[in-house]
A = this chain, B = another copy of it.
Amino acid sequence: MFSSPLNNQEGRIFMREVAVIGVGQSVFGKFPGRTAASLGGEAVAAALKDCGMHPKDIQVAYAARAYDANCTAQAVLKEVGVTAFEMINVENACAGGATAFRGVWKEIACGRYDIGIAIGVESMTTSPIAGKLIPPEKDDLDGYLGMTMPAMFGMVARRQMEEYGATAEDFALVSVKNHHHGCLNPQAQYRKEFTVEEILQSRMISEPITLLMCCPNTDGAAAAILCSMEVARKYTTQPIKVIGSALLTGDYKYLQKDICASPVGVKAAQMAYEMAGCAPKDIDLVEMHDAFANEEILRYEDLALCAPGEGLDLLRSGATAIGGRIPVNPSGGLLALGHPLSASGVRTVCEVVLHLRGQAGARQTPNAKVGLAQMLGGLVTGLEHGVTAGIHILAR
């Protein structure tokens, strides 16, 4: 189903090692009075400060924004007072941030530039989608027919119950776990513990999905500074290497036999593992797309953190909680940390970097050596088009 074997034969092309040396995040929450540029600028300033870099040293920028995007990189970088280099604005729904990160990685890997910044930013509260569902019930055929994101994930959840014996309690457990993680992250939008009961008793959105199984609307931004290894050594003794990168749009979802499956997520993971020269067992922590609680369980299987069909067992075993064998979304994930769409694909990388440096505080994955950041995106008519998967594997 995927395109010719010439695709992504990363091995046959000249590539330099690329390091992430600076990461930063804005506050995450609802800030309708702040511009996207201001949120983006806050993240960029934090990333620059993180590695002690002067803004004028940036040579190329990729910025992602899904809604109301007009020259995002230009607007964000003006907040730190720099311009006059190559700027590229990208969009790929929730995978936009991963697309921006991969864009900068490509530039440095091929040798065109030595230092670049990936920016993801979204102001959901001021977007045209504010207060609406995705896709909106107007303007879009899927939305018009009622096939919004919560409806789709409700159907997926039902299938998980039928096929794998999942229960609403299992889905609630994901949310309990990620909200617990969020309590350990000073930058999370929501920092509150919930019980399984509380999750189940929150407002029903799309049976069996309750409000507290859905990610919130979030305004926020994240930024990551990438550079060649040679340059990295000038700034830090802890460069984090990008060892795997994959970005792939999948087949039309309506052609899938199994609504739970994510062939594109599986394929992109395989590509990233192959490039990284590592196996799922080598991964110490994962940040991923948990827009709805039940989804996280399926994503374990996409990333081969467990065998197909065993995602539920992995969750129930506690392995994916902080302190477990393979913590998933120690940041709090989209569920608790929040989900400014295009920011999330950069923000997940930032979280992985903090763990690999040993700087993740109370939520630190002990002795983390390799981490994986995954993001999925499909926005308007995401069901009709292919979903996009972006995966990056990082190592210290």
**Chain A interface (Cβ within 8 Å of chain B)?**
1-4, 6-10, 12-14, 56-60, 66, 69-75, 78, 83-93, 99, 103, 106, 110-115, 247-252, 264, 377-382, 384-386, 388
Q: Are B69 and A69 in contact (CB under 8 A)?
A: yes
Closest to A67 in B: B70
Contacts of A103 in B (CB 8 A): 88
Closest to A74 in B: B385
Q: Are A84 and B2 in contact (CB under 8 A)?
A: yes
Contacts of A111 in B (CB 8 A): 12-14
In angstroms, Cα B76 to Cα A249, docked, is 13
Q: Are A92 and B89 in contact (CB under 8 A)?
A: yes
Q: Are A78 and B8 in contact (CB under 8 A)?
A: no
Q: Are B114 and A6 in contact (CB under 8 A)?
A: yes
Q: A69-B69, A70-B66, A78-B252 are in contact. Are A3 and B58 (CB under 8 A)?
A: yes
Closest to A66 in B: B70
Q: How far is the CB of A382 from chain B (nearest CB, A)?
A: 8
Q: Are B1 and A84 in contact (CB under 8 A)?
A: yes
Q: How far is the CB of A44 from chain B (nearest CB, A)?
A: 15
Q: Are B7 and A85 in contact (CB under 8 A)?
A: yes
Contacts of A249 in B (CB 8 A): 73-74, 83-87
In angstroms, Cα B103 to Cα A92, docked, is 15
Closest to A2 in B: B84
Contacts of A74 in B (CB 8 A): 249, 385-386, 388
Q: Are A71 and B85 in contact (CB under 8 A)?
A: no
Closest to A112 in B: B13
How many copies of the chain does the oligomer comprise?
A: 2
Interface centre among A56, A74, A264 (most CB of B within 10 A): A74
Q: Are A87 and B91 in contact (CB under 8 A)?
A: no
Contacts of A386 in B (CB 8 A): 74, 83-84, 87
With beta carbons under 8 angstroms apart, the residue of B78, B83, B91, B250 that contacts A70 is B91
Closest to A75 in B: B385
Q: Are A7 and B59 in contact (CB under 8 A)?
A: yes
Q: Are B71 and A93 in contact (CB under 8 A)?
A: yes
In angstroms, Cα B263 to Cα A43, docked, is 29
In angstroms, Cα B66 to Cα A91, docked, is 11
Q: How far is the CB of A143 from chain B (nearest CB, A)?
A: 12
In angstroms, Cα B103 to Cα A1, docked, is 24
Interface centre among A75, A83, A264, A380 (most CB of B within 10 A): A83
Contacts of A385 in B (CB 8 A): 71, 74-75, 78, 83
Q: Are B78 and A379 in contact (CB under 8 A)?
A: no
Q: How far is the CB of A120 from chain B (nearest CB, A)?
A: 14
In angstroms, Cα B384 to Cα A252, docked, is 41
Interface centre among A70, A93, A248 (most CB of B within 10 A): A70
With beta carbons under 8 angstroms apart, the residue of B58, B91, B247, B250 that contacts A83 is B250
Q: Are A56 and B13 in contact (CB under 8 A)?
A: no
Contacts of A247 in B (CB 8 A): 86, 88
Q: Are B6 and A250 in contact (CB under 8 A)?
A: no
Contacts of A382 in B (CB 8 A): 71
Contacts of A86 in B (CB 8 A): 7-8, 247-249
Contacts of A379 in B (CB 8 A): 70-71
Contacts of A106 in B (CB 8 A): 106, 110, 112
In angstroms, Cα B251 to Cα A56, docked, is 12
